[in-house]
Structure 1
Amino acid sequence: MSPRRSAPADIQPDLLGGGSNTPTEIHRLFFALLPNEATGRRVEQAANEVVAAQHLRARMIRPSLYHATLHFLGDHPMLRPDIVQAAVAAAGKVRAAAFELVLDHAAGFHGREPPCVLRCTQVPPALQALWQDLQQALILAGLGAHLSRNFTPHVTFAYSRGVLPQAVPIDPISWRVEGFALLHSVIGGGEYRTLDAWRFDPV
């Protein structure tokens, strides 16, 4: 069944590049799953337990920034309305229903400041289908340049300042995914901005 669109947030002129005195800003666009408040609290608890148990030196992520990226749409010198409009139109063509995602272990990714993440042992077929269907819709909309060919669902909770965290099990976090969102951020600028969001029909 098709996702139901929520009311879109207004796009402010200053985010579109008009009258900006900060040309060095980097504007990032991406589709993501957003946990509800209860799930976010459980992610935060698991994150704190992993950091404490492994004695990690890490920069913790604010719970308000927890998300699982579906598709990255690139970094840009301004928030381009053509990309936003094409992305919104593509997302509106996706058919999906609510599903359960179970985060059951913590791990680390390599990088300059390695991310510490929560992951799922089994990727729900509904999540894989959502990722593939949205990818195809974005390619058809001309937005395939930045899309990844691989999908590893995860929620970043910290960035390591030392060794990578070992892969360890956590108390499973059952996350009922009921929709997805198109997010905008200014790198180093704090909170994410929801440009549009879609809710799935319940099963």
Structure 2
Amino acid sequence: MTPNVFDTPQLDLLGGQTEPAQTHRLFFALLPDEATCAAFAQVADTLKAGQPGLRARWVAPARYHATVHFLGDHPMLRGDIVQAAARAGDGLQAGAFDWTLDYVASFHGREPPCVLRSSVVPAPLQELWTRLREGLIRAGQGVHLSRTFTPHVTLGYSRGGMLQETPVGPLAWRVERLALVHSVVGQGDYRLLHTWALA
């Protein structure tokens, strides 16, 4: 998740330098285990070798995830939103399930994301999205929520074209973990604020 556009020093009203502004991002995500990350990375390596025209910015395997719900970008880490989201996560009833990803494609955008997708969305995944959405709305966090769900795992961001839909794998992912994730846009690491085992 881009070079920091705020790296250039900014001047305050007295001509001194101010601290670079930060954008804090919060989202719920499904997290793959190490073996599944390695399988996704192999697909990315194949794309690097076979699609050099993409000139993509590739996601580090440790950051692979599938976003379930986006909770917005904020100028600071909002404790009230974190607490409300944690309540929604605590109240979620969802079990582990199998998800098979079987093709790569692109989404439109300034740097089109190269993504792994599935021909069939498992019913438990759709149900998890719906139940968590309902819990977030009850917790007062409906403002940023999408009305639609297109499950995917982003492998990279293209600077040179878009992928045609291409079969891969199939790659089996046993989905067992949900997390509330915090990131600072332009910085490399994700911070897991809360995690839940799907059981």
Give the TM-score normalised by structure 2: 0.88
Query: CA contact under 8 A between 1:64 and 1:191: conserved in structure 2?
Result: no
Structure 1 ranges of 4+ moved more than 4 A: none
Query: CA contact under 8 A between 2:25 and 2:184: conserved in structure 1?
Result: yes
Q: Which residue number in structure 2 is paired with residue 50 of structure 1? A: 47
Name the amino acid aligned to 1:129. E
Query: CA contact under 8 A between 2:105 and 2:117: conserved in structure 1?
Result: yes
- 1:163-178 to 2 correspondence within 5 Å? 163-178=161-176
Name the amino acid aligned to 1:185. S
* Number of matched pairs: 181
Q: Which has the higher contact order (CA 8 A, sep 6+)?
A: 1
Name the amino acid aligned to 2:79. P
Shift of 1:23: 6.0
Q: Which residue number in structure 2 is paired with residue 7 of structure 1? A: none
Q: Which residue number in structure 2 is paired with residue 158 of structure 1? A: 156
Query: CA contact under 8 A between 2:106 and 2:164: conserved in structure 1?
Result: yes
Query: CA contact under 8 A between 1:119 and 1:154: conserved in structure 2?
Result: yes
Q: For the residues of structure 1 that align with 2:75 and 2:141, how far apart are their CA atoms?
A: 17
Q: Which residue number in structure 2 is paired with residue 8 of structure 1? A: none
Q: SS of the residue aligned with 1:24?
A: coil
Question: Which segment is superposed worse, 192-201 or 43-52?
Answer: 43-52
Q: Which residue number in structure 1 is paired with residue 8 of structure 2? A: none
CA gap 1:129/1:23 in 2 versus in 1, 3 angstroms: same
Q: Which residue number in structure 1 is paired with residue 121 of structure 2? A: 123
The one of 169, 176, 200 aligned to 2:198? 200
Shift of 1:48: 1.4
- 1:37-116 to 2 correspondence within 5 Å? 37-55=34-52, 56-116=54-114
Name the amino acid aligned to 2:161. V
Shift of 1:162: 1.0
Aligned alpha-carbon RMSD (Å): 1.0
Q: SS of the residue aligned with 1:139?
A: helix
Q: For the residues of structure 2 that align with 1:22 and 1:83, how far apart are their CA atoms?
A: 24
Q: For the residues of structure 2 that align with 1:196 and 1:59, how far apart are their CA atoms?
A: 28
Q: For the residues of structure 2 that align with 1:51 and 1:146, how far apart are their CA atoms?
A: 34
Shift of 1:51: 3.1
Shift of 1:89: 0.4
Summarize deviations over 1:62-99 as a string: whole Å, max 9, x none: 11111000000000000011000000001111111110
Query: CA contact under 8 A between 1:23 and 1:77: conserved in structure 2?
Result: no
Query: CA contact under 8 A between 1:50 and 1:106: conserved in structure 2?
Result: no
- 1:124-143 to 2 correspondence within 5 Å? 124-143=122-141
Shift of 1:171: 1.2
Q: Which residue number in structure 2 is paired with residue 34 of structure 1? A: 31
Give the TM-score normalised by structure 1: 0.87
Shift of 1:167: 0.7
Structure 2 gaps of 5+ residues are 1-17
